[in-house]
């Protein structure tokens, strides 16, 4: 199937072609036709499945089909959990709407009201916002949602997890005149998303992106055994100096570790950007800009700081420190192998990581290959996961009897 088979405007089609897209992804093939027919959409689509274009294309087409008659506030409102996601959606929206006269605004925390004022005071067609900041503007009546005709909730599960349920319900209530509503979530499992969807959607088309298991096949995964921190660092530097590194994200477990590692990589002459929690917004945006542009082709980040990062051409994800859980591992490596490209996920594991490696292998249902780097072979064998001793039922019975006897004596 090609994008040209959808019933969309030539201006939009030309923009899609210019962006280098010709074949829609699984979620785009399902969502775009349903949305173009005016239906509400409830879609399970993790990051990296092409979900952003799946809701932006029908939104832009709607605005082209029904041009604005009177000046006013945004007609399409997109809510998303983080600033990074908001700016990434904005960037993609600008590209898709490049041949139209549509005005697109973005409103997030960390930016003062003076910057946002012109968005609210001028004609605005599409507004992309984080729920916390948008609520502030609703409360102060700087923004009115009655004009919203299409409401889109991106990564709704994460917004709910982050405690934005009350704000989301209030915004949905304010946008009660809407004609259509789309809810996109990485997963539809669990009561919170389902109950929320029931409250705000009207007879939605229920859609699911190609299963993440199929997607995982595009990511080559392996581990390097490390004797200690210094050995791990040498292997990381060797890997990052490889010719095949286009863009790499290196994950660490703490802010302290991040600061140490960034200093060591800089000393090795590597071009490194970094993200950590509680970072000023201007510095965060600068780091992401440097990574996007390729000025720095390595990004070191903690899991919290990396939430919402959606960069299309990441060639490598490197776990310098293993995550605590298997699902976080899957979320980390899902940032490579996008849009049909192959990706590489490398993990450096020390003796204390063997248990989590076992959990990851069971979770993804595949064995992670063990590889060595020439000249940096590990000196120690891989540690074994300590097995739990099975309790002897005969001994257990005898113990119980002895306990019962002592109780009777008392």
- Going from the N-terminus, what domains does the chain have, and what CATH number goes with each? 3-210 (3.40.50.300), 213-371 (3.40.50.300)
Residue 212 confidence (pLDDT): 46
Helix (H, G, I), strand (E, B) or coil at 105: strand
Residue 339 confidence (pLDDT): 62
Q: To the nearest 10°, report the CA torsion of 258, 260, 263, 265.
A: -70
Residue 75 confidence (pLDDT): 92
Q: What is the mean pLDDT of each run of 10 residues along the chain (410 residues)?
A: 90 90 88 94 82 94 90 88 86 93 86 58 83 84 84 90 87 91 82 84 87 59 93 94 90 91 93 84 84 89 75 88 85 77 90 89 83 90 64 64 62
Q: Which contacts qualify for 14-22: CB closer than 8 Å, 24 or more apart?
A: 14/99, 15/95, 15/96, 15/97, 15/98, 15/99, 16/53, 16/57, 16/96, 18/95, 18/98, 19/95, 19/96, 21/53
N- to C-terminal Cα separation, the chain: 81
Judge contact between 249 and 309, C-beta under 8 A. Answer: yes
Q: Is the pTM of this model over 0.75?
A: no
Strand order, beta sheet including 298-301:
272-275, 298-301, 248-251, 316-319, 343-349, 219-225, 369-371
Residue 335 confidence (pLDDT): 82
- Buried b / exposed e over 160-176, threshold 16 CB at 10 Å, is bebebbebbebbbebbe
Residue 371 confidence (pLDDT): 93
Distance of CA 374 to the CA centre of its chain: 34
Residues 6+ positions from 354 with CB-CB distance below 8 Å = 382, 383, 384, 385
């Amino acid at each position: 199937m090609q994008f040209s088979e959808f019933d969309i405007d030539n201006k939009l089609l030309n923009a899609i072609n210019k962006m280098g897209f010709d074949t829609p992804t699984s979620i785009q093939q399902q969502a775009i036709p349903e949305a173009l027919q005016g239906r509400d959409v409830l879609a399970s689509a993790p990051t990296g499945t092409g979900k952003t274009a799946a809701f932006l294309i029908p939104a832009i087409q709607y605005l082209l089909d029904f041009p604005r008659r009177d000046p006013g506030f945004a007609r399409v409102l997109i809510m998303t959990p983080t600033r990074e996601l908001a700016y990434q959606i904005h960037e993609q929206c600008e590209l898709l709407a490049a041949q139209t006269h549509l005005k697109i605004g973005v409103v997030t925390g960390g930016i003062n009201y003076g910057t946002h004022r012109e968005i609210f005071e001028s004609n605005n067609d599409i507004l992309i916002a984080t729920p916390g900041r948008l609520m502030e503007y609703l409360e102060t009546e700087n923004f009115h949602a009655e004009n919203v005709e299409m409401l889109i909730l991106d990564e709704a599960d994460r917004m709910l997890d982050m405690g934005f349920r009350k704000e989301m319900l209030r915004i949905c209530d304010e946008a009660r005149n809407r004609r259509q509503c789309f809810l996109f979530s990485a997963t539809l499992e669990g009561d919170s998303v389902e109950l929320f969807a029931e409250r705000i959607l009207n007879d939605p088309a229920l859609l699911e992106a190609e299963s993440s298991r199929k997607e995982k096949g595009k990511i080559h995964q392996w581990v390097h055994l490390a004797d200690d921190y210094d050995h791990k660092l040498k292997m990381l530097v060797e890997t990052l100096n490889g010719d095949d590194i286009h863009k790499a994200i290196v994950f660490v477990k703490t802010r302290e570790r991040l600061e140490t590692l960034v200093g060591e990589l800089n000393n090795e002459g590597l071009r490194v950007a970094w993200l950590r929690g509680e970072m000023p917004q201007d510095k965060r945006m600068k780091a992401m800009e440097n990574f996007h542009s390729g000025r720095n082709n390595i990004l070191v980040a903690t899991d919290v700081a990396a939430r919402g990062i959606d960069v299309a051409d990441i060639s490598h994800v490197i776990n310098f420190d293993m995550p605590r859980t298997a699902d976080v591992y899957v979320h980390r490596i899902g940032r490579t192998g996008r849009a049909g490209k192959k990706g590489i996920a490398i993990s450096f594991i020390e003796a204390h990581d063997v248990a989590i490696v076992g959990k990851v292998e069971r979770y993804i249902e595949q064995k992670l290959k063990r590889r060595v780097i020439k000249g940096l072979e590990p000196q120690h064998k891989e540690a074994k996961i300590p097995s739990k001793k099975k309790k002897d039922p005969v001994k257990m019975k005898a113990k119980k009897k002895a306990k019962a006897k002592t109780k009777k004596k008392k």
